[in-house]
Structure 1
Amino acid sequence: MGLDRVRSEIEHMRVQVGRQRKEILQLQRAGISTAAAELLLQRMLAKIDGLCDGRDRLKREEDGPTKGRVLGGRSW
């Protein structure tokens, strides 16, 4: 899976997490148990963490060694 694909999947999952959070709030307001919805939310967040780890790994592989460079600094 390429870097752009991973980034796209992360963004998609973040949108889904927002929807899930809104749904949980609606269930709470209605007095309905949210245990199952909260478990799903935790699984979604774990998947995003895994995707972010994969994205960071792909980014490091793509960038190559950054020895001697300072964040935001000049490349001499």
Structure 2
Amino acid sequence: MSVQVGRQRREILQLHRASISTASAELLLTRMLAKIEGLCAERDRLRKVQGGPTKGRVLGGRSW
């Protein structure tokens, strides 16, 4: 997700430098960031409820 957000920011900057209106692109980026924050909060809440690991595990990694 962070790669996609960074890509969007760079594209908005290019549009801004070219004097092209970036209002709709900035609005889209704001919505994307809000969605990401909501998903991260939901993930953290679920981890807390389920008692799962908070960090250090990799998807499909070893459990030792």
TM value normalised by structure 1: 0.63
Post-superposition offset of 1:35: 0.2
- Name the count of aligned residue pairs: 52
Instruction: Please show how residues 1-76 of structure 1 align to structure 2 within 5 Å.
Output: 13-63=1-51
Distance 1:15 1:62 in 2: 29
Question: Whose Rg is larger?
Answer: 1
Post-superposition offset of 1:62: 2.4
Q: Is the 8 A contact 1:17 1:41 kept in 2?
A: yes
Letter in 2 for 1:14: S
Gaps of 5+ in 2: 53-64
Gaps of 5+ in 1: 1-12, 65-76
**Which runs of at least 4 in structure 1 moved beyond 3 Å after TM superposition?**
none
Q: Percent identity?
A: 73
Q: Is the 8 A contact 1:27 1:33 kept in 2?
A: yes
